[in-house]
C-alpha cells in the first residue's frame, strides 16, 4: 500500500490516490489533496465535503450526483463549478473517501 506525505501528515492511498484509512484524514490533509487538484477549498467546497462525510456515515458509500442534488441540496452546475472535470471523484478523494463505485 503506497504512502505519501501531505501537509505534514502521512497517509495511505490506493493506486488511484484515494485514501485507504479515513482516520488519517483531517482538514489539512483535505487542503493538501485539494491543492493537488488545483483547488483552493472555500466554504462552498466544504459544504460538499461535509455532505459526503455525513452521507457516507449513513449509507457507507459516496453519494451519487442525484443524491447530492436531492438530499445534499447541491445543484449539478455548482458541483461542476467547484470541482471541475469529475466533481464526485475529486470531492470524494479530497474528503478522504474511496473512489465512487456507482455509474450514475
**Minimum CB–partner distance for residue 16 and other proteins (Å):** 9
67 belongs to the binding site for other proteins (CB under 8 A): yes
76 belongs to the binding site for other proteins (CB under 8 A): yes
Nearest-angstrom CA–CA distance, 72 and 60: 16
85 belongs to the binding site for other proteins (CB under 8 A): yes
Closest to other proteins by CB, 30 vs 62, is 62
Q: Is 100 exposed, middle or buried (0-12, 13-18, 19+ CB in 10 A)?
A: buried
Nearest-angstrom CA–CA distance, 64 and 37: 20
4 belongs to the binding site for other proteins (CB under 8 A): no
C-alpha cell at 43: 466554504
Which residues are near other proteins by CB under 8 A?
Answer: 64-67, 69, 75-77, 80, 84-89, 102-104
Amino acid at each position: 500500500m503506497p504512502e505519501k506525505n501531505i501537509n505534514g501528515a502521512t497517509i495511505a492511498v490506493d493506486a488511484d490516490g484515494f485514501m485507504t484509512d479515513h482516520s488519517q484524514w483531517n482538514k489539512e490533509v483535505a487542503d493538501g489533496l485539494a491543492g493537488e487538484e488545483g483547488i483552493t477549498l472555500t466554504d462552498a467546497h466544504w459544504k460538499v465535503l461535509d455532505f459526503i462525510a455525513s452521507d457516507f456515515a449513513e449509507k457507507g458509500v459516496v453519494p451519487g450526483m442525484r443524491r447530492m442534488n436531492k438530499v445534499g441540496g447541491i445543484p449539478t452546475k455548482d458541483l461542476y463549478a467547484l470541482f471541475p472535470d469529475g466533481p464526485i471523484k475529486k470531492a470524494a478523494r479530497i474528503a478522504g473517501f474511496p473512489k465512487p463505485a456507482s455509474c450514475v
